[in-house]
Amino acid sequence: MPSSAAASCAADANVAADEELRLASRRLPDGLWQTDIAVPAIHCGGCIRRVETELGKLDLVRRVRVNLASRRASVLWQDAATPPPLLHALSAIGYEAHLHEESKDTTDPERRRLLRALAVAAFASSNIMLFSVGVWAGADAQTRDLFHALSGGVALPTLLYSGRIFFLSAWAALRHGRTNMDVPISIGIILAFALSFYETLTSGPHAYFDAAISLVLFLLIGRTLDHVMRDKARSAVLGLARIGARGALASGPDGVVLYRPVAEIAPGMTVHLAAGERVPVDGLVLSGRSQLDCALVTGETIPISAVPGTRLSAGTLNLTGPIDMRATAAAKDSFLAEMTRMMEAAEAGRGTYRRIADRASSLYAPLVHAGAALSFLGWILASGDPHHALTVAIAVLIVTCPCALGLAVPMVQVVAAKRLFEAGVMVRDGGALERLAEVDRAVFDKTGTLTEGTMRIDETMSGVGPALAIAAAIAVHSSHPYSRAIAALAMADAPALAAGQVREEPGNGLEAEIDGQVYRLGRASWALPRSAAGQQGTILARDGVAIARFRFEQPLRRGAVAAVSALREMGIAAEIVSGDAPEPVAEVADALALPACADVTPAGKTQRIAALRAAGYKVVMIGDGLNDAPALSAAHASIAPASAAEVGRNAADIVFLHDDLAAVPLALATARRAAVLIRQNFVLAIGYNLVAVPIAVFGYLTPLLAAIAMSSSSLIVVVNALRFDAPSYRGAKQRPAPRGRPAGVGIAR
């Protein structure tokens, strides 16, 4: 019975753990879940590779991405009765992990730990240096031995306290049959101390306690500055976490109004916002009128009006009056949370450069150990002096640390993403910047991308008034600009329709069943299948018969003309591929002097992208609609506005938050600038090793100088990344079109 009871308890614990994992995860389309796991011990490229490899071996796991800056693993797994044992798999390879929880707490325990260790090492190093001065000044043998003993007495507790940062990491790796950057560093520190201890016991003339502790000091300086600079580069993400509301007054189905933490506000709850409060989750205004500061979402500083029916995004500031809203998403699925995930995804991107750096870092430990061993044997054979040979081997172990190479790419990507965020542009994937820098062709959607959708109704048609209320009720279930314009005109009079009553067909329109009648709102050829001859524009049809027709004025989006002109200056040809009717597409094409094709289906847009790629072009797709999602995914790189449909935002690599189309050339120019800095960092990191390693191998570097050189190389790479200045697209240098490619590819009609 006791064993049965224990088995039952274990089973219950497993069920509870599985349930906790699901609650901490996000449900994604196609039966996938995303789980974010905090892994504090991650600190180098080897750790990233190990964690991604082990988690990737698990059944159901489809993708793993590790973010070194936030020390977090993002895992996509297929839905099943039992989730994959993510935490157990990490524990088995020596990485203690836990489910990540969003927190407004800005304290940084890792920074405090590094600073305390650094302070102890600095104090000890300064005192040991004072003892060393006496030895260097020519102290007699007894005084020298006393100073060596005092230095050892100060060095030992310092190594145990400050050096444990490296020792614990190295031991965790070795205990699970792997290596990381801290293994050779720890070996170097321990060998330097052991050699000094031996010299002290035997009254030898040389002791390197000062070098051992100074080595720890300089390594900690480099690691602490690296940590601080990473946090500085990630300040945009940390700022987003502070912007969000902590909670709000909300009433559930029982009607009881309580102040609830933002994590407890569920879709369907009514949230009561006073003036001066931030919107906690995405929602829809039910009652009240106010002005909203939407600068976080749109980049615009001019307040906008909030009336019943207005869509609200988390993080928006309610300025002037109380409003009631209905929550439409949980906090973890809100627009603010999505932006935070975009920023973090940008840091974890895996482009070609990043993969090269990670691969080099993973090969580091065995190569360094081999190099140090060969240096030791070589000097033993050449000089017969084991003391000098061991000193050279220690210097080789230290100087070859590839920290600079590991930082070369991620630091630039993080800083570039931060600069773009400050300009209102979100990067969803760090690898997207690399792809965007290679782009030489641009394809634009029209409606909602190059234009704004402002509606004008044809008042000559009969029955427009009643039909408008029905059209508004249907249109509210779509984020297409035409739908939003129709919904805004008659929201107060529109009947309520459940989401399940409305179906959206990408590229065509919306269909709903009301009182046993089928209504279609959208493209005439789709809404009127039996009598569409000669019909154009947007039609509301009831059982295949038109009851209202809508016409739209389409002013160009702000900055469209300048953006297209800037792309030409950058050597990027552009064109329009739209699903709209030929007449409005031609008007926009003429205004921007671009080639265009109209009446293109979602499949047709994807085919056009494929044709351009087959012709040798690397295409960036800029679109916003549900019908643009396949083309956004098919393009070499993709950009969407924040107003795009959710599936469009998820498919795009880059999302811009404001209404100005200048974001497109700005993102392209920034990506090119980032590519230049990454190449510079590679040259610096590789150049350092080409110079420093031979110097260490030939015995010209002491362990202390090796530590200074290694830390300096990392700082140089980080500083080079931090000098990133996001260029204005107007100042972007023109790049000629690649040679050997056709001057143009015909637009398919």
Question: What CATH number has the domain bearing residue 573?
Answer: 3.40.50.1000
Residues in the chain: 749
The residue out of 524, 553, 582 marking a domain boundary is: 553
Radius of gyration of the chain (CA): 31
CB 387 within 8 A of CB 450: no
Domain assignment present for residue 324? The answer is yes
Domain span at 61: 21-99
Are 667 and 594 in the same domain? yes
**pLDDT at position 117, please?**
92
Task: Kindly give the parts of the chain with pLDDT less than 50.
Answer: 1-2, 5-7, 9-10, 12, 104-106, 299, 346-350, 459-463, 729-749
- Give how far Cα 599 sits from Cα of 172, 524, 620, Å: 61, 11, 21
Side chain identity, residue 58: L
pLDDT tens, residue by residue, 361-398? 556 667 777 888 899 899 988 888 888 888 888 888 87
Minimal CA–CA distance to 436: which of 182, 296, 621, 612?
621
**pLDDT at position 344, please?**
57
CB 692 within 8 A of CB 399: yes
CATH of the domain at 548: 3.40.1110.10
Domain assignment present for residue 378? The answer is no
Q: Which residues contact 406 (CB under 8 A, 6 or more apart)?
A: 44, 45, 181, 357, 358, 361
Are 446 and 458 in the same domain? no
**pLDDT at position 573, please?**
92
Are 269 and 145 in the same domain? no
Are 445 and 567 in the same domain? yes
Domain assignment present for residue 512? The answer is yes
Say how far apart CA 442 and CA 637 lie, in whole Å. Answer: 10
Domain assignment present for residue 714? The answer is no
Are 442 and 562 in the same domain? yes
- Give how far Cα 361 sits from Cα of 47, 50, 354, 430, 707, Å: 10, 12, 11, 19, 18
For residue 543, indicate whether it is catalytic. Answer: no
Domain assignment present for residue 37? The answer is yes
Domain assignment present for residue 240? The answer is no
Domain assignment present for residue 678? The answer is no
Strands 509-514 and 502-505: antiparallel
As given in the structure block, the two tokens for residue 284 are 């829809």
Number of structural domains the chain divides into: 5
pLDDT tens, residue by residue, 67-108? 766 677 888 888 887 888 888 888 888 888 888 765 544 456
The residue out of 671, 703, 721 marking a domain boundary is: 671
CATH of the domain at 284: 2.70.150.10
Are 619 and 476 in the same domain? no
As given in the structure block, the two tokens for residue 615 are 């012709």
**pLDDT at position 566, please?**
92
CB 42 within 8 A of CB 51: yes
Are 229 and 113 in the same domain? yes
Helix H, strand E, coil C: the string for 24-92 is CCEEECCCEEEEEEECCCCCCHHHHHHHHHHHHCCCCEEEEEEECCCCEEEEEEECCCCCCCHHHHHHH
Are 188 and 207 in the same domain? yes
Domain assignment present for residue 343? The answer is no
Are 650 and 570 in the same domain? yes
The residue out of 671, 693, 710 marking a domain boundary is: 671
Are 563 and 535 in the same domain? no
Are 442 and 571 in the same domain? yes
Are 227 and 114 in the same domain? yes
Catalytic site residue from 36, 182, 445, 628: 445
